[in-house]
Chains A and B, each alone.
Chain A
Amino acid sequence: MPGLEDLYREIILDHYRNPRNRGALETPPAVSADGHNPLCGDEITLFVLVEDDIVADIKSSGQGCSISQSSASMMTQAVRGKSVAEAEALIHHFKHMMSIEDHHHDEPAEAPALGDLEALQGVVKFPVRIKCAVLAWNTLSQALESA
C-alpha cells in the first residue's frame, strides 16, 4: 500500500490550511458553477470572471476534504490570468494526470506546466480520492462552458 506521505504532501496541506482565492465574485459579470461529490458531501462553488477570453479572476467557496480543497486552491492559482483555451488544456492535462482521461489529440505538444499541482500526483495511488481531486476541475469546466 502506498504511504500516506504520497497523499498528504506538505504543499497540499499548505493549500488546505491556507486556501488561495477563497471567496465570491459578483455575478454577473462573473459566472458561477456548483459542484458536489455525492459520495462524501464535498461541495464547491466557483466564480469565474472571463474578460477578453482571459480568466481575469477566479474565486472558490465551499467545504470538503484536504484533497478537494487543496486541489481547488491550486487550480484557481494555476488558471488565473490564463486564456480560456489554456485553462481548458490544463483541465485535460490534470485529468490525464488523474488517470481518468486520455491525452487529447489536439492538445499542444508541450504540456502546460502544472507547478504546485504536481503534488497531487500521489492521489492516483488512492483511487477513491481521485473524485475529490477532480471536483474543482469538473466545476471549472462547467463554469467555462457557461461563461
Chain B
Amino acid sequence: MFDLSKIKADFPHLRREIDHSPVIYLDSANTSQKPAAVIEAMRSFTEQSYAPINRSAYRMAAAATDAFENARSLVASFINAGSPDEVVFTKNATESLNLFAQGWSRQHLKAGDVVVLTHMEHHANIVPWQMMVAERGITLRWIPLTDDGHLDLSDLDNILDGASVVSFTSMSNVLGTMNPVREIVQRSHDAGAIVMVDACQSVPHSVTDVQAMDADFIAFSGHKMLGPSGIGVLWGRPELLDQLPPLQGGGNMIDDVRLDTFTCAPVPAKFEAGTPPIIEAIGLGAAVEYLSSIGMAEIRRHEMELTQYALDTLSERFGSDIVIHGPRNVEERGGVLSFAFRDLHPHDVSQILDERNVCVRAGHHCAKPLMRLIGANATVRASLYLYNDTHDVDILADALTSADDIFGL
C-alpha cells in the first residue's frame, strides 16, 4: 500500500524546517534521505549489539556476525540473487566498479582487448577503465547517444564485435534514460563479452532481479536507496566472482598466510579485507526491508506518475524557457529531471531555489563527457523519490518564477 503521507512522515529529516518553512528535497539521485527505521536499526545495533564480526568466539560477536550476514541475505533477496554469497559489500558503487574494472583487467585482459562503455556513463564507470587503458593497454569503444537521449544501438553489433567486457549504466544519472538492459546484456553475451551493469540509479527506484537481468556483475550504492553512506554492493555470478582477484589484502580475506605466500578466503570474504562497514550493513538491511514493505513496483509507479506531473507542470508553466533533457516518455525514464532554465547558469538557479529550501543539484553530475555531448557545462537536476509529491514539484516551479524578480528577465 503506497501511503505517501505515511511515507513522508517516516523520514525525520524531511520534517525539518529552515527559516520556518519545510525542506523540499529534490536531490535523491545524488543521495537519499533515511527513514526512521534505518536510523533506529543502526542506533539500536550500535547500542545493544555492536561487536566484531567473523573473528571472536564470544556470544556477542557471534550475534553481530549473524546480524551482518542477515543484512547480506536481505540484500540478496532484494535483488533476487541466487545466494547471499553473491553479494559483496563494498564502500559504494564506485568501489564496486573499480574492483571489477581493475581486477578483471589485470587478471583477464591484455593490450588491445576491447571494453565497451557508453556516452552516458558516470565518471565512476569511465575513469577506472581509462586507468586500465594506461596500465594494461586495453582499448575503449563507446556506444553513442541518439538526439533524444537514448543509447544508439543501431551499430551495436559492430561495436560489440570482439569485445571482452561491456560495462554500462541501467539508468542515466543526468538524462534519466532507462536503458534496455536485458537486450544489451543478451547481445553482449552473444558477442562473447562479460557484462557489468552500473545499477546505481535503478536499484533504488524499481524492481531488480539479477537473474532476469542476466548480467554478470552489477554495482550499486546503499546511500541512494535509503541506506547509510559508506556501504555499496558488487553482485556477481559465483563462478565469475571466483575468477575476479581481490583488490585489497588484509584480515578477513585470507584462507591462510605464510611468510612467502597467502591463499584467499572464499567469496565474498575474499573481497572484504579488514573490518567491513558493519553498522552500515545493518542500515542497508533495514533500508531494503523498508523498501520491500512498500514495494518496488509501487515506488516505480509513484515515480512515473510524479515524473509525468513534473514534466507537464514545468512545460506548461515555462514553455520554451525550460529545456528538460532526456526522454519525454516516463515509461523510458526515471525521476531525474536535468534542465536548463532560460539562459541562467545552473549555479544561480540552484541558489535561487535554495532560498525556498528547494534542494537540487547544479553542476556536471560527474558525467562530463555526456555534458559535452548535450552542449552544457552544467545543468540543474531535480530528482524524485518515493517521499516526493506534487506539492514538491509545485514549490520547485514557484521558486523558479522568483528568478524573474532577481534577474529581471
Contact = CB atoms under 8 A, between A and B. Distances in A.
A65 B347 contact: yes
A4 B406 CA distance: 8
B248 to A, nearest CB: 27
B19 interface: yes
A1 B19 contact: yes
B259 interface: no
Contacts of B19: 1
Interface stretch (A38-46, A53-61, A84-92): A38-46
Q: Which of B18, B345, B368 has the most C-beta atoms of chain A within 10 angstroms of its own C-beta?
A: B345
A7 B350 CA distance: 13
A63 B363 contact: no
A132 B406 contact: no
Given A1-B18, A4-B355, A66-B345, A43 B406 contact: no
Nearest to A64: B345
Interface of A is mostly: mixed
Contacts of B377: 41-43, 63-64
Given A1-B18, A39-B363, A129 B408 contact: no
Interface string B288-330: 0000000000000000000000000000000000000000000
B255 interface: no
Interface in B375-389: 377-378
Nearest to B19: A1
Q: Name the residue among A40, A41, A126 with the largest chain B CB count within 10 angstroms.
A: A41
Nearest to A7: B351
Contacts of A67: 347-348
A63 B340 CA distance: 15
A4 B352 contact: yes
Interface of A: 1, 3-4, 7-8, 13, 39-43, 63-67, 69, 126, 129, 132
9 contacts: A1-B18, A4-B355, A13-B407, A13-B408, A41-B364, A41-B377, A63-B345, A65-B346, A66-B345
Given A1-B18, A66-B345, A67-B348, 5 more contacts: A41-B368, A65-B347, A66-B348, A126-B351, A129-B351
